[in-house]
Chains A and B, each alone.
Chain A
Amino acid sequence: MSSHTSDHSAPAILAEVKPIPLPRAELVHNNRDFKWITDKICGIVEGPTPTWWWWCFCLAVLVASFTVAGITYLVGTGVGVWGHANPVNWAWDIVNFVFWIGIGHAGTLISAILCLLRQKWRTSINRAAEAMTIFAVVCAGIFPVFHVGRVWLAWYLFPIPNSNYIWQNFRSPLEWDVFAVSTYGTVSVLFWYVGLIPDLGTLRDRFTAAGNLLKARIYGFFAMGWRGSNRHWSNYEMAYLILAGISTPLVLSVHTIVSFDFAVSLLPGWHTTIFPPYFVAGAIFSGFGMVMTLMLPLRAIFRLEDLITQYHIDCMCKITLATGTMVGYAYSVEFFVAWYSANPYEGFAFINRAFGHYAWAYWIMVSCNVITPQFFWFKWVRENTWFVWVLSIVVNVGMWFERFVIIVTSLARDFLPSSWGYYSPSIVEIFTFFGTFGVFSTLFLLFIRFVPIMPMSEVKCVIPQADPHGKDHH
């Protein structure tokens, strides 16, 4: 026992043996200082509007007008203008809803889960990814709201007293979804805004010094009088940590509840317990695809290579690889369970997916979601930015098809062969979905024009000069 007492002296050799210095990955290249970071990020907001921005903005608004046209026609005529009919009464609207909501999940993963895990590389992609989340939720919300038919009665979804005196059925997963998605949208906006406050303060001070009092007032209003007091930072950091702590279970619950829309029903191919984890993994997978689709062009246009380094791209590729492989594993488990359950309806649903009328969609899904991410095992792929960008788009094509396969194939071939059908979208649905990419791009372009695209105060925290213990820190 004596060798375990606390006062025994360490062997003399320990003083001489030093661990091998393994430097951590550099998060900001070229030894940039605080001033450079501020000027770089504020410069994007303060500078003149680039010509490419106007071209992209006009194109985005043009594309968004397709959604406006599609929805106007739907409201004026009726939900029948979409291609839904028995037995496929849920189709593109729910596919697109789940697709966009899933994309949003990477933003919350980066801002909340990676914050709790102390992944410092999150700082430079955090703001844009959270913006992506909010805009994706906006696009997602369009579909169920207009699918209710009489959109002016969509407030019936919320427990607001009305003249019918009847309340919502809280046993329904669809009602749970109303609360999950509206909470998710609200908390995402709050989290994003809290992160913005210190940077808005920086912009306010810079516009004040430059004599642009109108902008100083607008940014100052939203900065809430932030002045960088450390007594404020103390509360701010605690609030930020709590928001990260509650956003983590929130993001996991949102896609879990989205999957309940299907899993709680009795339809073969939907009624499975694997859905919640499988949907969450797929959501993060598609979201990281979208983050890379957006960040790689931004990095090239604004010359942000010092802030979004190869290390950042590597990390994002590896998360895409991990979640994509989980999704592939879930596909195989679904098949195994369909066979192992010995339920003929369940078995038929899966054979039908892979070899039935919608086999083309199934194999697009498998090749995009299971094969594509496997390229990220290779360093030369991760270092080829163009290749990564193309793969990131393929990932999202695959994830759209995943939702299509799950929803449409199961409904088109349910229990009774007499009610089988084949679903094709109408031109109105195609217009509406195509247009949401314009809605998303319009919002994102406004974001990069008017809001600092990176959290300056957080990026400054991760450079070596921020360490108050200087070089003597161990």
Chain B
Amino acid sequence: MKKTYGIIAAFETTPALYHACEQVRDAGFKQWDAITPFPVHGLDAAMGIRRSKVPRISICGGIVGFCTGMSMIWWTGAVDYKLIVGGKPLFSPLFAFPVSYELTILFTAFATIIGMFVLNGLPMHYHPVQKAPNLTRLLDDRFHIVIEANDPKYNAATTRAFLEQIGGTDIAELEE
């Protein structure tokens, strides 16, 4: 017999999902998630999710990018092969700025996207949620709440009853 991953319940509208999420949060569950086809405005607060940590990774990328640009131009033109052009100084942050600026943006973009993937645990090509009934509606027009079995407050019978009580339909257990 396969291990249970959790219980999934469907909601038809965004207000129904929003209020259900508030109730799941207030009931004290920790290991749970909402599955929505688009980002629902304000749902982070209703679920009690903290502000994303992506910006911290982005700024590291930006700083590394800027320093890479400046040090590369200094090292190549003023250290490794001294290149005199028009009697100008071998290095100046002014002429190095445009390239460093572009590299700041380039490195920030990579840091942001890699950071987003790492924080989300993606790519993950198999996930129990993708065994939900009516799979195509998951990223189409319905909204779902999944409560995981490893949540300390999880109990197969009472959690199912709780999801029914807050308005969930098509409730189903998901296998690992």
Contact = CB atoms under 8 A, between A and B. Distances in A.
Interface of A: 33-35, 38, 159, 165-171, 173, 175-176, 179-180, 183, 186-187, 190-191, 194, 198, 201-202, 205-206, 208-209, 220-221, 224-239, 242-243, 246-247, 249-250, 253, 257, 260, 456-458, 460-461, 465-470
A189 to B, nearest CB: 10
Contact of A167 (B13, B58, B80, B88): B80
Given A38-B141, A227-B35, A234-B52, A190 B122 contact: no
B149 interface: no
B72 A469 contact: no
Contacts of A221: 125
Contacts of A201: 139
B102 A239 contact: no
B7 interface: no
A175 B85 CA distance: 14
Given A167-B81, A179-B102, A237-B39, 15 more contacts: A35-B140, A166-B83, A167-B76, A169-B77, A186-B109, A187-B106, A202-B139, A208-B135, A224-B117, A226-B122, A228-B35, A230-B47, A238-B51, A246-B112, A253-B105
Contact of B44 (A230, A246, A466): A230
Majority secondary structure of chain A interface residues (helix, strand, loop or mixed):
helix
B125 to A, nearest CB: 5
A35 to B, nearest CB: 4
A326 B113 CA distance: 35
A206 B136 contact: yes
B77 A167 contact: yes
Contact of A225 (B18, B51, B85, B127): B127
11 contacts: A167-B80, A169-B77, A205-B140, A227-B127, A236-B116, A242-B108, A247-B105, A250-B105, A457-B139, A465-B13, A468-B46
B110 to A, nearest CB: 7
A468 B108 CA distance: 33
| Most B Cβ at <10 Å: residue of A35, A191, A468 | A468
Given A38-B140, A236-B39, A169 B105 contact: no
Contacts of A246: 62, 105, 108-109, 112
A460 B51 CA distance: 23
A467 B99 contact: no
B73 interface: yes
Contacts of B36: 228, 230, 233
Interface of B: 13-15, 17-18, 33-44, 46-47, 49, 51-55, 58, 62, 72-73, 76-77, 80-81, 83, 85-86, 88, 95-96, 98-99, 101-103, 105-106, 108-110, 112-113, 115-117, 119-120, 122-127, 129-130, 135-136, 138-141
A249 B106 CA distance: 12
A451 to B, nearest CB: 16
Given A190-B110, A229-B33, A461 B39 contact: yes
Given A230-B35, A235-B120, A159 B110 contact: no
Contact of A466 (B35, B38, B130): B38
A33 B81 CA distance: 64
Given A170-B77, A232-B122, A183 B33 contact: no
B49 A231 contact: yes
B141 A35 contact: yes
B98 to A, nearest CB: 4
Contacts of B119: 235
Contacts of B135: 205, 208-209
B138 A228 contact: yes
Given A190-B109, A232-B120, A468-B15, A239 B54 contact: yes
A161 to B, nearest CB: 9
| Most A Cβ at <10 Å: residue of B54, B73, B83, B120 | B120
Nearest to A221: B125
Nearest to B69: A179
Nearest to A177: B98
Contacts of A179: 98-99, 102-103
Contacts of A469: 15, 18, 42
A180 B85 contact: no
B35 to A, nearest CB: 5
Given A231-B49, A467-B14, A166 B81 contact: yes
